[in-house]
Amino acid sequence: MSDAQALKPADLARMLRYATDWLAVYREQVNALNVYPVPDGDTGTNMHLTMQSVRRELDTCDENSMPGVARAISYGALLGARGNSGVILSQLLKGFAEAIRDAREIDGALLSRAFQAAQKTGYGAVMKPVEGTILTVARGVAEGAQQGGTPAEVLEHALIRGQDLLDQTPEMLPALKQAGVIDSGGQGYLYIVQGMLAQLRGDALPPAPEITSYAQQQFENEEFGFCTEFLMSDATKPIEEIRELVSPFGDSLLVVGAEGYVKGHIHTNEPDQLLATVGRHGRMLKTKVEDMSEQHTEILGMAGAAARAEEEIAPSGLVAVASGYGLVKLFRSLGARIVSGGQTANPSVQDIVDAVKSVSAEKVVILPNNKNVLMAAEKAMELMDGRAVVIPTRTLGQGIGAALAFSPETPAEDLREVMEGASQAVTTFEVTRASRTTSITTKTGATLAIAEGDVIGLQDDELVQAGGSPEDSVLAMLNQGYNGQEIVTIFGGPQKTQEDLEALTARIQEAFPMVEVEAHAGGPDLYDYLVTLE
């Protein structure tokens, strides 16, 4: 098909799906190059997750409709955009999609214009564009694309000129020259274009390259400690005003929008205050806060492991599915490798398998921490041929209990019973909002009339309470579920401030003077509070 004069919508969809798989082959190589804007070693992962989101939308759209395919590209990229590189990639794809949206088919000339539109939208999304980055390579791709005839020729020339500028990136950015690497985001973008061309030619996926070193080893931690992201709908302010609100909190700022959504990315030392500020001006759908110092430490550990031919590995490792940076930080402190996900954002089987493979241990314990993730975790366990066991944790609270009982020096099979027992000793309360109007009969026989948007409370994943404020919901569930336990731990959601947490702590201590109360920011997305009782 490489000599085709024009591409149908379904052709483009197939090319982008294959480009996602092509990037996956080189994901860890791109991670190993990542030193700018911060050496957190996740550019390949973030770009691949962004492309996976595009693929999910393509899988459900009308492939015979160019508007449908274009919307899947733009919408999927924005919803799945992760990290600085992923957000910029989402804008490159947005510009590309807008250029082809109204066409019946894509000839070489239109494909060239689409890459030019991608470059323009990418540069426009960044407040202070920096040369030597993915933007420079996108410019090279757009320049090269103007020299082709057929779609395959356009892609060939785009890759040649894109590679030419990618090779020049160390001369444009001192950090790249210091590390002796080319730009990771630019390399990732070229792999996507390369994958599109490979699908046209019918090329097979290559083997993954062996990674023996990580460029991040040469760098210290950055000034701003937390990579913070949010996805918001129903914004009450224009994107420009939201960008101005966010700007004082840090650097590496990106605030973009498409299809009625606003996506933000910033490096900051105040993630709680930032998310609470933004959350007042729309409906927060997703947040992600990564401790970049912990990411850096993890990368250095991986680099050290790669450098050791003979390594004494621990009997047991731990993988936990979690969202909400406070919870992620807790699981990491207990020795877990994190798979991002949870309610409404279930990780794939492959995500869990990849995490298990990355842990240096004889056998790995998996904590799904959500009933909807349990099946994927069990399938991942099967694929690991006896190298993993699953503790069937159905809530994050149960996962915390199990993780507290984890010991890397104990064989995983010996941990199973004690970790399951520890998980069952924790009661979990979740406070969120109803997504629709309904009437529910609880296990106790009570009937709850619930309107869309009402506060609802769940105890161990069962609906038990509705109405009132989120804080009222927590107190009501504690009154029902308290049975002499000693510790209450609160995780506030992205829209809860430190003042909210302190006020709720005071109410609980007044009502239950015998319990110890701990409060933390960084609860899971879409929740006002996650509370554990143990």
Residue pLDDT, tens place only, 427-456: 999 999 888 888 888 877 888 888 888 999
> What is the DSSP code (8-state) at residue 218?
G
Q: Confidence band (pLDDT; 50, 70, 90) for 235?
A: confident
Q: Which pLDDT does position 356 carry in this prediction? A: 84
Helices first, then strands: H and E counts in the chain = 19, 18
Taking the alpha carbons at both ends of the chain, their separation in whole angstroms is 62
Q: Are 325 and 283 in contact (CB under 8 A)?
A: no
Say how many C-beta atoms besides its own lie within 10 A of residue 222's C-beta.
17
Distance, CA of 194 to CA of 160 (rounded, Å): 10
Question: Pick the residue with more confidence: 272 or 476?
Answer: 476
Nearest alpha-carbon partner for 463 in 484, 441, 435 = 441
Q: Are 320 and 336 in contact (CB under 8 A)?
A: yes
> What is the DSSP code (8-state) at residue 147?
T
Average pLDDT score, the chain:
85
Distance, CA of 470 to CA of 467 (rounded, Å): 8
The string of DSSP codes covering 331-351 is HHHTTEEEEE-BTTBPPPHHH
Return all residues near 94 (Cβ < 8 A) that are at least 6 apart: 73, 74, 77, 78, 121, 256, 258
Angle between helix 134-145 and 108-125 (nearest 10): 160
511: amino acid identity, one letter: A
Distance, CA of 147 to CA of 134 (rounded, Å): 21
C-alpha angle with apex 29: 83 to 319, nearest 5 degrees?
65
Q: Can you name the residues that pair with 286 across neighbouring β-strands?
A: 231
Q: Which pLDDT does position 223 carry in this prediction? A: 56
Average pLDDT in the 48-75 region? 94
Say how many C-beta atoms besides its own lie within 10 A of residue 58's C-beta.
22
The string of DSSP codes covering 381-402 is HHHTTTSEEE----SHHHHHHH
C-alpha angle with apex 274: 273 to 280, nearest 5 degrees?
90
> What is the DSSP code (8-state) at residue 253?
E
Q: Can you name the residues that pair with 227 across neighbouring β-strands?
A: 267, 290
Nearest alpha-carbon partner for 115 in 84, 139, 151 = 139
Q: Which pLDDT does position 35 carry in this prediction? A: 57
Angle between helix 349-358 and 374-383 (nearest 10): 50
- Could you read off the pLDDT of 385-434 as tens digits, one per residue? 888 999 999 999 999 999 999 999 999 889 999 999 999 999 999 999 88
Say how many C-beta atoms besides its own lie within 10 A of residue 434's C-beta.
18
Distance, CA of 458 to CA of 428 (rounded, Å): 8
Q: Which pLDDT does position 178 carry in this prediction? A: 79
Distance, CA of 33 to CA of 235 (rounded, Å): 36
Distance, CA of 43 to CA of 31 (rounded, Å): 5
Q: Are 263 and 503 in contact (CB under 8 A)?
A: no
Output the CA–CA distances (angstroms, integers) from residue 67 to 48, 92, 255, 353, in the order listed.
Answer: 24, 17, 25, 35
342: amino acid identity, one letter: G
Return all residues near 291 (Cβ < 8 A) that are at least 6 apart: 225, 226, 325, 328, 329, 332
- Could you read off the pLDDT of 114-144 as tens digits, one per residue? 999 999 999 998 877 889 999 999 999 999 9
- Could you read off the pLDDT of 142-170 as tens digits, one per residue? 999 999 789 999 999 999 999 999 999 99
Block residue for tokens 């970049």: 292
- Could you read off the pLDDT of 183-221 as tens digits, one per residue? 989 999 999 999 999 999 999 999 988 866 554 444 444
pTM for the model: 0.61
Q: Confidence band (pLDDT; 50, 70, 90) for 173?
A: confident
Q: Are 504 and 519 in contact (CB under 8 A)?
A: yes
The string of DSSP codes covering 174-208 is HHHHHHT---HHHHHHHHHHHHHHHHHHTPPPPPP
Block residue for tokens 């700007």: 247
- Could you read off the pLDDT of 309-366 as tens digits, one per residue? 344 678 999 999 988 878 888 888 898 888 877 766 677 787 788 778 778 788 999 9
Distance, CA of 270 to CA of 6 (rounded, Å): 50
Q: Confidence band (pLDDT; 50, 70, 90) for 513?
A: very high
Q: Are 331 and 340 in contact (CB under 8 A)?
A: no
Nearest alpha-carbon partner for 299 in 311, 289, 287, 290 = 290
> How are beta strands 361-367 and 388-390 bridged, if at all?
parallel
Distance, CA of 470 to CA of 379 (rounded, Å): 36
Distance, CA of 157 to CA of 454 (rounded, Å): 55
Output the CA–CA distances (angstroms, integers) from residue 209 to 205, 291, 346, 357, 413, in the order listed.
Answer: 12, 28, 29, 16, 34
Tell me the residue length of the chain: 534
**Structure tokens that stand for 107 in this block:** 């000839």
> How are beta strands 529-533 and 487-492 bridged, if at all?
antiparallel
Phi, psi of 403 (to 5 degrees): -65, -35
Return all residues near 147 (Cβ < 8 A) that are at least 6 apart: 153, 154, 157, 161
Q: Confidence band (pLDDT; 50, 70, 90) for 304?
A: very low
pLDDT at 245 over 70: yes
